[in-house]
């Protein structure tokens, strides 16, 4: 069928683009900063300067490019957009297909560390998986979107088409951040095909009914308190993305330091510089810093909403320092939660502004892999 071709893809950034990037980093103009305010006004100069210095003097794009190209990559057109994805098949004939979805300001980089243990587990007793890891429309190597409407619902429809196009009629959906919103939608759309949805956040919020708050335990009350703090101190990105993404687009498209500062606000301070810079570099070198944030606008202005809770078996693995889901609210939106695990420890991060554990596939790879395995082992 015309337009359904799956084409091999290889990352090959022109050297001129890398040289232009280096020039912009060397000649960046830095903002003034008030003394002694730390991060109370936003991401501080010191952090962005350190990351920019790492990007310019230590980060090896060609080595990272080779790491990406070590995995099979493809592009196919779905609903008028080019969709880039990694497709790594297990050698095991009993492997179960999974589609893994990232969010903003993450990318396919989020899931590189889980590829080997999920596709080729050390023990034959552990389930194996074929992995499909797409770049969201308007993100990274999927390129800037050429049409409106690419929020969670349209993306979920594209993912169902992608999995069917690859020949997968029975599969699982895994997600983090924006992927934790898209993956349940995939299960909603393809109830006969999706065997289970595994996410690291269930974004279910109070409805406004006072009765919902009666009898909440201490952990739930702490989760509500953290959510209130996040809304009061860190939610400006969502408001701007949802209302005026094009206004911000000029700065993100013109300045790698501007892009670095904006995206770094949601990369935990305990994350390694390599991971942060690799993610931001993909946005810069694909010119998708601006198009990626349109996801929020499209979602905020979507008229399409599912009616009733999801019914696909759902599993949650949440990590200390990240968004803390509240089961009472989650069960209102997801009627078939079969696994609910909370992890803490080293992933808790270093402070209020450090969302440690948000990138669990990178920060707590073994823990997340084990949770995914256990969840799907009960469904296969």
Of 170-184, 322-336, 340-354, the poorest mean pLDDT is in 340-354
Q: Does 42 fall in a domain?
A: no
Confidence at 83, pLDDT banded by 50, 70, 90: very high
Asked, for residue 153, whether it belongs to a domain, the answer is yes
In tens, the pLDDT along 247-301 reads: 999 999 999 999 999 999 999 888 999 999 999 999 999 999 999 999 999 999 9
Write down the pLDDT at residue 218: 92
Q: Which residue has the tokens 């779905």?
A: 78
Q: What's residue 175's pLDDT?
A: 98
Which residue's structure tokens are 């409407």? 149
Which pLDDT value is given to residue 344?
Answer: 80
- The answer to whether position 150 is within a domain reads yes
In this prediction, residue 3 carries a pLDDT of 76
pLDDT tens string 205-248: 988 888 888 889 999 999 999 889 999 999 999 999 999 999 99
Q: What domain count does the chain have?
A: 1
Q: Beta strands of 79-224 (E only): which ranges?
A: 81-88, 96-101, 129-134, 171-175, 194-199
Q: For residue 218, give every residue at least 6 positions away whose Cβ sits within 8 Å of its Cβ, in sequence order, or none.
A: none
In a domain, 356, yes or no: yes
Alpha helices in the chain, H assignment, sequence order: 15-26, 45-57, 61-69, 115-119, 152-165, 178-189, 218-233, 236-243, 245-254, 256-264, 273-285, 289-292, 294-300, 327-333, 360-363, 365-377
CA distance 65 to 365: 21
Residue with tokens 């000029």: 250
Where in the sequence numbering do the catalytic residues fall? Answer: 177, 296, 358
| Section 147-153 average pLDDT | 96
Residue 31 belongs to a domain? no
What CA–CA distances, in Å, run from 211 to 26, 221, 228, 331? 56, 14, 19, 15
**pLDDT reading at 371 higher than 50:** yes
Is the CB of residue 306 less than 8 Å from the CB of residue 185? yes
Assigned domain for 44 exists: no
Q: For the sheet with 171-175, list strands across it.
A: 6-9, 73-78, 81-88, 129-134, 96-101, 171-175, 194-199, 314-319, 337-343
CB atoms within 10 A of CB 52: 23
Q: Considering only 47-61, 84-98, 205-219, 317-331, which range has the smallest mean pLDDT? A: 205-219
> Does a structural domain hold residue 32?
no
The stretch 58-82 carries a mean pLDDT of 98
336 in a structural domain: yes
Residues 180-205 have pLDDT tens digits of 999 999 999 999 999 999 999 999 99
For 68-75, which contacts have Cβ atoms below 8 Å and span 24 or more sequence positions?
68/11, 68/108, 68/112, 69/10, 69/11, 71/112, 71/115, 72/8, 73/8, 73/9, 73/10, 73/11, 73/141, 74/6, 74/7, 74/8, 74/9, 75/6, 75/7, 75/9, 75/141, 75/142
| Mean pLDDT rounded to a whole number for the chain | 94
Q: Residue 274 belongs to a domain with what CATH number?
A: 3.40.50.1820
Residue 356: the pLDDT is: 57
Q: Domain range for residue 125? A: 6-20+51-378
Stated pTM of the model = 0.95
| Confidence band for 362, pLDDT divided at 50, 70 and 90 | very high
337 sits in which H/E element: strand 337-343
Q: What is the pLDDT of residues 297-329, one digit of tens each?
A: 999 999 877 778 999 999 999 998 899 999 999
């Amino acid at each position: 069928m015309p337009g359904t071709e799956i084409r091999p893809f290889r990352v090959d950034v022109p050297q001129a683009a890398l040289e232009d990037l280096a020039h912009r980093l060397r000649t960046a103009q830095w903002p003034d900063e008030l003394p002694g305010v730390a991060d109370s006004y936003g991401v501080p100069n010191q952090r962005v300067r350190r990351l920019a210095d790492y990007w310019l003097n230590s980060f090896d794009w060609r080595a990272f490019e080779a790491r990406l190209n070590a995995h099979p990559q493809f592009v196919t057109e779905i609903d008028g957009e080019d969709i880039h994805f990694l497709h790594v098949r297990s050698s095991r004939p009993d492997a179960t297909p999974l589609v893994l979805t990232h969010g903003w300001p993450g990318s396919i980089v989020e899931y590189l560390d889980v590829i080997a243990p999920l596709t080729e587990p050390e023990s034959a007793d552990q389930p194996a998986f074929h992995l499909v890891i797409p770049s969201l429309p308007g993100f990274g190597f999927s390129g800037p979107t050429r049409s409106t409407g690419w929020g969670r619902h349209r993306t979920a429809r594209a993912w169902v088409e992608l999995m069917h196009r690859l020949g997968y009629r029975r599969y699982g959906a895994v997600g983090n951040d924006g992927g934790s919103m898209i993956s349940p939608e995939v299960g909603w759309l393809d109830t006969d095909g999706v065997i289970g949805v595994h996410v690291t956040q269930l974004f279910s919020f109070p409805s406004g009914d006072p009765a919902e708050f009666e009898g909440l335990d201490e952990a739930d009350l702490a989760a509500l308190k953290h959510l209130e703090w996040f809304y009061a101190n860190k939610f400006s990105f969502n408001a701007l993305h949802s209302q005026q993404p094009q206004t911000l687009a000029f700065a993100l498209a013109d300045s790698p330091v501007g892009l670095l500062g904006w995206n770094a606000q949601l990369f935990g301070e305990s994350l390694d510089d390599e991971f942060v810079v690799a993610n931001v570099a993909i946005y810069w070198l694909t010119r998708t810093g601006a198009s990626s944030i349109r996801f929020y606008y499209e979602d905020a202005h979507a008229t399409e909403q599912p009616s009733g809770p999801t019914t696909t078996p759902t599993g949650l693995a949440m990590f200390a320092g990240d968004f803390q889901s509240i089961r009472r609210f989650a069960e209102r939106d997801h009627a078939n939660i079969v696994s609910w695990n909370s992890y803490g420890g080293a992933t808790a991060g270093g402070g209020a502004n450090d969302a440690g554990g948000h990138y669990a596939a990178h920060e707590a790879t073994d823990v997340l892999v084990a949770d995914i395995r256990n969840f799907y082992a009960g469904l296969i």
